[in-house]
Amino acid sequence: MAKQGFLKSALAGVGFLRKASAPDFPGIDDPDPERQGQALFRRGRYRMRAGEVEDAVKDFDRAIELLPDYAEAHVSRAECLDMLGRVEAAQPDYVAARRLWAATRTGAPDRSYIWRQQGRLTFEVESYELALERIKTGSYPHSAVGNALMARGRPAEALKAYERALKIKDKDPALLALKGEALSAMGRHRSAVDAFSASLKAVPRAPEVLSGRAIAYAALGRIDKANVDWRRQLAVLPEHQSAARACVALRLGAWAEALPELDRAIEKAPDDPYWRLYRLTALKRLDRPAEAVDVPPGDWPAPLFALHAGKATPETVLAAATTEGRRIEALFQLERFKDVVETAPPHMIEYAAARNALGR
Amino acid sequence: MFSVIIYGRNDQHGYNLHKRAAISFNALAEVMSDPDDEILFVDYNTPDDHPTFPEAIADTLTDKAKQHMRILRVRPEQHVHLKSKTHLVALESQSRNVALRRSNPKNRWILYTNTDMLLVPRTEGESLSDILGALPDGFYQIPRFEIPEMLWEAAFDRKDPAGNLAKLRDWSVRFHLNQVVHNFMPMKYDALGDFQAVLREDMFAIHGFDESMILGWHCDSNLAARLALYRGRVDTLMDKAFGYHCDHTRVAAANNKGRKTTMNSHDKYIWNVSSPYIPEQAETWGWPDATIEEVRLDRDTSYERYIAGLSQAIEPATVPFTNTSVEWHLFDDLTYDLRHTLPFVCDQVLTYPKSTAILVAGCRADFIQRFATAWRGMGFTGPVLVPQEVGLAVDDPAIRRGRFADQLKRADLFMFEFGLATQKIDDPVRVGREESLADRRQLKAVERLFRRAASTEGETRPKGRQTPRRFIGINVIYNKYWPIFTDYVGANINPFCAQVLAGIPLAEPVTMKEKVILKFKKKKAS
């Protein structure tokens, strides 16, 4: 505010309103449901702000028809219904939004926080773009937009956003680390290592940046260097971050180190099946007996538990693995480490764990 | 399920603070239903001789509020290293982090709010514990609605939180109170600091509030900016609860000087935040190594300690009243009623840490004896340091005898008593008694120690201590020790009846001799 000045900041909204009088919603007629759904969402939000609440509800209705898992549209429709006094009608939408967000599987807890963000984040992107109408000297909206784009799988656009942020906050270690993540996601691992290294030079004890560089090194085939970074990450991760510590230990193939961390992670999040699964994996790798884990048959990763219990064959497990990620998890549990290394993306825990298992 | 974190101090921050805070504490407790829920109030930098803020208003709090409240007291000595860097007397980030570090680890949620908020679940009968218990992980805010000063001040009954919440449900409709004020992301709503529900684990991961923000304002926005990065989203909880703020702008608070208000940089702490983390405070946030006293309102209260101490030291009176006098001709009579005075003496020390080491130099052995008994009875664990130079034969498990010079460097608090060594407990008071030789000798010894302690206080502080130590004078009103004591100590004018004065040493003692010299010099100059 200080740099913007009171008057300038007060008048900035006028500029926005003038521009907002002729809104444009690209993709509103696009045949692609994703593009059209997001455009409808944006128009709905615009109408909400303009006081056209009933029309906004219609846009959100249509967006949800096109994209039933569109949590942001559910919550926005709920807010509209709520403000119209239709409180009862709003409730299911609030509940649906929370359920949808909670059901999204997030990235591993030892990686950058940006990989743990859920949803399409359309509202956030729109809001930060709105903030950019006023905030000319702040890097925050750029990096926040970049993070949302990363979560939506658009690293090239995210990289541009981070570079805009870096123009404002030159050599900022946190922004350099975000740039590294974007480069890594684009497959530009060598440049990613450089960005992470520059960040670590300023803040050497940054666990998530060490993780980012380790993954980039692993992708470049330098598992030795990656392991050094993961070791350092494990050394600086606080004890209370047991899930993150477990993930790093798993990547290193340090099964004995992983076990107590996994026990603590299970204690904190008993409903997360992956900690139990990785615990079984660690026990098996250590040739220790494992008690049966009672997981009802059904959704993934239940077939992997069945495999450990001897109740499923490799063929049935692989058949149940309907996505690339699941297939890699299945191959890993089947100890087909060579296949894992050849097909898995380097950021997966299974990739590094398999590399390290093969290395031994 | 959740820990509410709020902060303040025993002062007057804005209009009718006592009522606002009582309304708020009681209302917060009212919507708690899990035994692990807690209201963590950080009492920041209240002067040592004052009780904490919640203690000061304890009579207006409900039993439920007292049960759920934990008061974490940050002493002026713990704040002093920051004093020169800020104009504020209470620091938000430090306070909230001290509480976060010490919050109940069983609780999944931390709720940041302030001492003038009422949270109203939209479904009657539902508790905030139920609401938060059913929520998926996330970072939640609700909009803040204002309550006009007239309404909360005139119509709320501090001790009827359920009634107050019911009134709000009615008023919100009748007086159109519920207006959502949207804000730029990442703030989502205006005045967001009055409700930010965060996972405890997330707060630890991002290293708490930014402790470099010591100029006031925007700590809440900075937190929102960092959590919005960390989580990606800011979720609303407005479908579950509304938050109402007791407006208090009739009188500007200390941190509000209109357009001249000093504040943390908006640019630096919001628009140029680039990371959720604060690596430079990763190991130190919330002062993990500091000993923070915890005060409860539902057990071991100051009042209970006071009663316990005095009950052990004095017996109840057997007569309806006793007498003393301030008549001029009794000015030199140093007798006083010890049993009457001791409650006022104990009142001076009760708010100090239990580990306090107090140096007591006195003329009357029975005073020291009874004070030491009361000291232990009040739960103090620190020693009563009695200089061997006073030469009194007193014995108590709390008493440590030693060289005055050594004890000076150990004491946290000083007490000097100027009575007659020969006075017995049942002797008449202020009837024109003269000092005996033994009395005079003892008085001289104590006076000498007092002058030395007061004039060298700055140089003899315990290692690391920066704040001046307090001096308590007993029997120093309306007798010859009044000017002597106040030459060295900046004390208020107190009623004679209490017999007690207290304060910190003056920067430059002004003795009677110096006063005469100054007067002479002035005369000569003119």
pLDDT of amino acid B466: 95
Type of residue numbered B414 = F
Helix axes B302-313, B365-377, angle to 10 degrees: 140
Nearest by CB to residue A165, choosing from B137, B201, B274, is: B274
Please name the amino acid found at residue A206.
A
> Does position A356 have pLDDT exceeding 50, yes or no?
yes
Average pLDDT, chain A: 91
> What is the DSSP track for A52-70?
-HHHHHHHHHHHHHH-TT-
The pLDDT score that the predictor gives to residue B337 is: 97
pTM: 0.92
A299 falls in which pLDDT band (50, 70, 90)? confident
Among the partner residues A94, A205, A240, nearest to B279 by beta-carbon distance: A205
Residue from B172, B239, B277 to probe the interface with A (highest A Cβ count within 10 Å): B239
Residue B401 has pLDDT above 80, yes or no: yes
Q: What is the ipTM of this complex?
A: 0.91
Q: Are A168 and A138 in contact (CB under 8 A)?
A: yes
Q: pLDDT tens across B43-80, in order?
A: 999 999 999 999 999 999 999 999 999 999 999 999 99
CB contact under 8 Å between B184 and A172, yes or no, is no
In whole angstroms, give the CA distance from residue B41 to residue B52: 10
Inter-chain CB proximity B271 and A124 less than 8 Å: no
- Contact between B233 and A101 using a beta-carbon 8 Å cutoff: yes
CB contact under 8 Å between B229 and A78, yes or no, is no
What average pLDDT does range A11-37 have in this prediction?
73
Q: How far apart are CA B80 and CA A251, in angstroms?
A: 46
Express each pLDDT in B203-214 by its tens digit: 999 999 999 999
- Checking if the pLDDT of A1 tops 60, the result is no
Residues in chain A: 360
Quickly state the pLDDT bin for B101 (edges 50, 70, 90). Answer: very high
Are B236 and A124 a contacting pair at CB < 8 A? Answer: no
Amino acid at A48: M
Residue B310 tokens read as 């005095």
E strand or H helix at A161, and its extent? helix A155-168
Q: In this model, does residue A16 exceed pLDDT 80? A: no
Contact A36, A59 (CB under 8 A): no
- What pLDDT score was predicted for residue A15? 47
What's residue A129's pLDDT? 85
**What is the band of B518 on the pLDDT scale with cuts at 50, 70, 90?**
low
**What does the radius of gyration of chain B's CA atoms come to, in whole angstroms?**
27
Rounded alpha-carbon distances, angstroms, from residue A94 to A40, A57, A227: 19, 14, 44
Residue A249's Cβ-count burial label (10 Å; 0-12, 13-18, 19+) is buried
At B140-174, the pLDDT tens digits run 999 999 999 999 999 999 999 999 999 999 999 99
Q: pLDDT of B305-360, one tens digit each?
A: 999 999 999 999 999 999 999 998 999 999 999 999 999 999 999 999 999 999 99
Say how far apart CA A327 and CA A342 lie, in whole Å. 12
Indicate if the pLDDT at residue A5 is higher than 60: no
Residue A165 clears pLDDT 70, i.e. is over it: yes
Q: Please name the helix (run of DSSP H) or strand (run of DSSP E) that holds residue B361, with its range, or none.
A: strand B358-361
Q: Mutate which of A84, A114, A140 to test chain B, going by most B C-beta atoms within 10 A?
A: A140
User: Hey, are the CB atoms on A90 and B239 less than 8 Å from each other?
Assistant: yes
For a pLDDT cut of 70, what percent of chain B falls above it?
98
- Output the CA–CA distances (angstroms, integers) from residue B109 to B5, B12, B134, B135, B237, in the order listed: 11, 30, 11, 10, 14
Residue A13 pLDDT? 46
**Which of chain A's residues have a Cβ under 8 Å away from the Cβ of B279?**
203, 205-206
> Can you give the pLDDT at residue B140?
97
